Amino acid sequence: MASQNKRIAKELAECTNSPPPGISISLPNDSDLHTWHVVLEGPENTVYAGGRFGLVVSLPTDYPFRAPTVTFATRIYHPNVTNDSLGNICLGPLKPENWKPSTRLAGVLEAVRALLIEPQPDDPLEARIADEYRADRKEFEKNARTYVQRYAKGPVKFDSAVSATAGGGAGSGDDKKGAGAATTGSGSGNNP
C-alpha cells in the first residue's frame, strides 16, 4: 500500500531529522520500513543513566490502524519491562483499546523514555520488581544499576532478542490484555 508507506516514510523522516531527546533511529534493512532499530540513552539522573538501550519497533502491515510493537533488545531491570530476552513493555498507548491511528511513533518512543524516568509499579509486567521498587528503593536501584553495567554498556546489539534462548519463566507473568504486545504473543515469562 503506497499511502501507508507514505505515512511511515514521513514519520521516519521526522524522527531522523529532528529526533526526540535521547533517541536515535535507524533502519536495519533499507527496503523494509516496518522494522526500526532505536537506541535509547538512559535518561540523566535516573538509575539507567550511562546505559544505551536497544529497542526494536515493528510496524504491523496495517499500521497505523493497529498499534506497533516495541520491545527492549537490551536487558533492563524495570517493573514495566519483562525481565527476559523478550523485553516486552507494558505501555498504555500501545494497548489495542487505547491505540489511535493518529498516534505518532515519536510520541510512543518518548513514552518509553518517560517510563525509564518514572516507572509505573501499579501496572507492572514484573510484579516482583514492582514490589521491590515500592518497598525497597535502594535494592531496586542497586539491581537496576547492575543490569546497566552488565547489559547496557558498549555497542548496542539488536539481535539478542532473536538469538538468546527464551528463559524458563513457565506460565507465570501478568497476562494483562494487550500488555507487552510482543510479536511472540502475550505469554511472557517472569524469570526470577
Partner 1 sequence: MDTDDDFMSNVSSEDDILPDDSENDMSGDEDFGFDDEPDAHIDSQKDDGYKKKAAYDISFKVYQPSDVQKQQDELINEVNMILDISKEEAAILLRHFRWNKERLIEDYMDKPSQVLDAAGLATTSAGPPRMQVVPGFVCDICCEDEPGLQTFALKCGHRYCVDCYRHYLSQKIRGEGEAARIQCPSEGCNVIIDARSLDILVTPELTARYHELLHRTYVEDKETLKWCPAPDCENAIECAVKKKDLDKVVPTVSCLCGHRFCFGCILNDHQPAPCELVKKWLKKCADDSETANWISANTKECPKCNSTIEKNGGCNHMTCRKCKHEFCWMCMGLWSEHGTSWYNCNRFEEKSGTEARDAQAKSRVSLERYLHYYNRYANHEQSARLDKDIYHKTEKKMVQLQKESGMSWIEVQYLNSASQALQTCRQTLMWTYAFAFYLARNNLTEIFEDNQKDLEMAVEALSEMFEKPIAELADSKLKVEIMDKTSYCNKRRVILLDDTAQNLAEGRWTFNTELLGSGANGGPSTRR
CA distance 42 to 157: 16
Cβ proximity to partner 1: between 163 and 177 the closer is 177
User: Minimal distance in Å, beta carbon 14 to partner 1?
Assistant: 11
106 binds partner 1 (CB under 8 A): no
b (16+ CB within 10 A) / e for 159-174: ebbeeeeebebeeebb
100 binds partner 1 (CB under 8 A): yes
Scanning the structure block, which residue is given the C-alpha cell 525497597? 136
14 binds partner 1 (CB under 8 A): no
Selected from 110, 123, 141, 175, the binder of partner 1 by CB under 8 A is 175
- Interaction pattern, residues 22-51, with partner 1; x per rule: CB under 8 A: ------------------------------
Cell numbers given for 15: 524522527
Q: Which residues are catalytic?
A: 90
- Coil, strand, or helix at residue 20? coil
- Binding segment for partner 1 (CB under 8 A), chosen from 36-44, 91-99, 138-146, 147-155, is 91-99
Selected from 34, 37, 66, 145, the binder of partner 1 by CB under 8 A is 66
Selected from 64, 68, 121, 180, the binder of partner 1 by CB under 8 A is 64
Residue 108's nearest CA partner among 77, 133, 161, 71 is: 71
Cell numbers given for 83: 525481565
User: Minimal distance in Å, beta carbon 32 to partner 1?
Assistant: 19
- Binding segment for partner 1 (CB under 8 A), chosen from 32-40, 43-51, 81-89, 174-182, is 174-182
Instruction: Mention every residue, 6+ apart, whose C-beta is less than 8 A from residue 90.
Output: 80, 81, 120, 123, 124, 125, 176, 179, 180
- Helix 127-135 × helix 137-151 angle, to 10°: 130
Q: Are 126 and 78 in contact (CB under 8 A)?
A: yes
Residues making contact with partner 1 (CB under 8 A): 3-4, 6-7, 10, 62, 64-66, 93, 96-97, 100-103, 107, 127-128, 169, 171-176, 190, 192
